[in-house]
A = this chain, B = another copy of it.
Amino acid sequence: MSSFSTKIKENFQDYLTELSDLLAIPSVSADPQFSKSVHQCAHTVADLLRKSSLNHVELLETPGYPVVYGEKYVDESYPTILVYGHYDVQPADPIELWHQDPFNPVIKEGKIYARGAADDKGQFFLHIKALALVIQANKLKYNIKVIIEGEEEVGSKNLEAFALQYKEKLKADFILISDTSMIANEHPSITTGLRGLCYMEVEVIGPNRDLHSGVYGGAVANPINELCKMIAKLQDEEGKILIPGFYDQVAEVSESERARMAQAPFSIEDYKNHLDIEEVFGEKDYSVLERVSIRPTIDVNGIWGGYIGEGAKTVLPSKANAKISMRLVPNQNFLDIEKIFEDYFKSIAPKSVKVKVNAHHGGHPAVTSITSESYQIAEKAVEKSYGKKPIPLRTGGSIPIVSMFKSVLGIDTVLLGFGLDSDAIHSPNEHFGLFNIEKGIETLCYLYAKED
């Protein structure tokens, strides 16, 4: 057992206490009513950085929530790593499906449950603790810069301007982000590809007020009926997207890469059982793992209209709304997709309704190289702690900042995440495994420290 491993075990209860305190702050960036908590969370993160012996800790203001900055300069000859994380979290809705208060962390069955446990508070916390141990042991072999932002869950809308403003301050050899998952605890992996995101909100408007469906039904277009018909024209039964031009820029993945992906351990029966579904869904010429990684998709993330209370109300509503997002793959450009979505969606609206289309934040897809020095540094650290070489894996989520950092700062990112797909991020009962916390800190100690 390494000395780091021993230290981690000794400190583990303290880590859980500190992490629980961090998770107890409802730093929901999407909802203005949590604004005070988001600011409070930034201060708590700054305190954690200071406690880990990072220097020049400060809150860098943006037009939105501040970015927490800290650094540890060791030696000019050392490479510099820029660590990125985010202290904001997704809304906890639907609250009623949580088995606990989402902001009152509970530890049970080897996991810590709370909103943000894995996405991303629990994960950037691993870096803070690993850095503390490595600095304490006087073994740090990189210069370190840390930025923890507060707007990732609302599209990091101020981060590009921030990166431009602080381009000099953020100079680094590579960026390290822990905000992704591994295949399984016994199958460590490093994320080498992320999908992009195009997130639209639509409103279909019918009559100027809610009507009685008996008096007007049949002669006045019902905005919900029409919205559903329009959504049905976005995707066929097999998941193929019907927006003209949508696939034009999609890069086909080579047969050799697909063959390598096919070797990742995966049981379709376990997958279906775990989700309690009878059949998976999606494009017929692609495997499940391919459908969620190398293929674009479209999901209605929310829909509402008319009467949604108890019982029956015979209303023909004035309008209906939906939030619709698309996951994008190289080389799709989210700005182009926003445009063709809007054009198509308006083109399929009947004349009997009006349509509004707005874009929320978007992000470009990203693929990282497995032959870079930075990837190999991460690979080596994982192999040392997990006893196995990690599998390089393209996954389905989006971290739009990866391509933004590349274009603005010119720096490549390594996505070394310690979560699992089953962590229920963005869902009720989000959690993070204690095993993953321990292994995460250990892996990062090996990554940051000189060898004995």
Q: Is A276 an interface residue (CB 8 A)?
A: yes
Q: How far is the CA of A308 from the CA of B94 in the complex (A)?
A: 10
Q: How far is the CA of A350 from the CA of B302 in the complex (A)?
A: 20
The answer to whether A232 touches B229 (Cβ under 8 A) is yes
The answer to whether B30 touches A313 (Cβ under 8 A) is yes
The answer to whether B299 touches A323 (Cβ under 8 A) is no
Q: List residues of chain A with CB under 8 Å of any chain B CB.
A: 30-32, 90-91, 93-94, 97, 154-155, 181, 195, 197, 199, 201, 206-222, 224-225, 227-229, 231-235, 237, 239, 275-283, 288-289, 291-292, 295-317, 320-323, 325, 327, 350-354, 360-361, 395-398, 421, 424-429
Given A229-B237, A298-B225, A303-B224, CB of A218 within 8 Å of CB of B311: no
Additional pairs, 7, CB under 8 Å, beyond known A220-B275, A224-B300, A225-B231: A206-B277, A216-B292, A220-B280, A228-B231, A281-B350, A303-B308, A304-B304
Given A97-B209, A222-B299, A277-B207, CB of A306 within 8 Å of CB of B292: no
Given A225-B231, A311-B30, A311-B154, CB of A210 within 8 Å of CB of B427: yes
B contact residues around A350 at 8 Å (CB): 237, 279, 281
**Can you list 24 contacts pairing A with B, beta carbon distance less than 8 Å?**
A31-B309, A91-B309, A91-B313, A97-B209, A206-B277, A208-B275, A209-B427, A211-B426, A211-B427, A215-B292, A217-B396, A218-B283, A218-B297, A220-B277, A221-B277, A221-B280, A225-B235, A228-B232, A231-B232, A301-B312, A301-B317, A302-B315, A303-B305, A315-B426
Given A197-B314, A426-B313, CB of A292 within 8 Å of CB of B209: no
CB distance from A324 to the nearest CB of B (A): 9
B contact residues around A283 at 8 Å (CB): 218
B contact residues around A275 at 8 Å (CB): 207-209, 211, 216, 220
Partner of A307, one of B302, B353, B354: B302
B contact residues around A302 at 8 Å (CB): 224, 305-308, 313, 315, 317
The answer to whether A306 touches B315 (Cβ under 8 A) is no
B contact residues around A353 at 8 Å (CB): 277
CB distance from A272 to the nearest CB of B (A): 9
Q: How far is the CA of A199 from the CA of B208 in the complex (A)?
A: 24
Q: How far is the CA of A197 from the CA of B235 in the complex (A)?
A: 32
B contact residues around A233 at 8 Å (CB): 232
B contact residues around A307 at 8 Å (CB): 91, 93, 301-302, 323
